[in-house]
């Protein structure tokens, strides 16, 4: 069970980080995402942690309803939004 939770945590973090980097690279031309990592990483961790409980609850609800694809899509979408929100937060610090 803990292995599956670790896997979900890894997937959540990777999804949020990828989304944050994509958003940053599209919307912030003055500083690259890799150069802003010292600001982005803590924000991504915070936003991912804050969103994870609700994302898991929503995914479980979808799984309980027999909607496995919806569970996965909902979880990933929530983690992508966490990453995007973290990147947006950091742009306020830059600009």
pLDDT at position 1 over 60: no
* Domain definitions of the chain by residue range: 2-94
Query: What is the per-residue pLDDT across 28-69, written as a single tens digit (0 to 9) for each?
Result: 877 777 778 888 899 999 999 999 999 999 999 999 999 999
Cα separation, 32 vs 34, whole angstroms: 5
What pTM did the predictor assign?
Answer: 0.85
Q: Are 55 and 16 in contact (CB under 8 A)?
A: no
Both tokens of 27, joined, read 């919307």
CA 85 to CA 78: how far, in whole Å?
Answer: 10
């Amino acid at each position: 069970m803990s292995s599956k939770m670790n896997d979900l945590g890894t997937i959540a973090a990777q999804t949020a980080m990828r989304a944050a980097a994509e958003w940053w690279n599209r919307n912030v031309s003055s500083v690259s995402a890799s150069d802003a990592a010292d600001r982005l990483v803590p924000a991504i961790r915070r936003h991912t942690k804050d969103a994870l409980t609700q994302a898991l609850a929503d995914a479980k609800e979808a799984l309980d309803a027999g909607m496995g694809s919806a569970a996965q899509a909902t979880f990933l979408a929530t983690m992508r939004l966490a990453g995007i929100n973290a990147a947006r937060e950091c742009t306020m610090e830059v600009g």
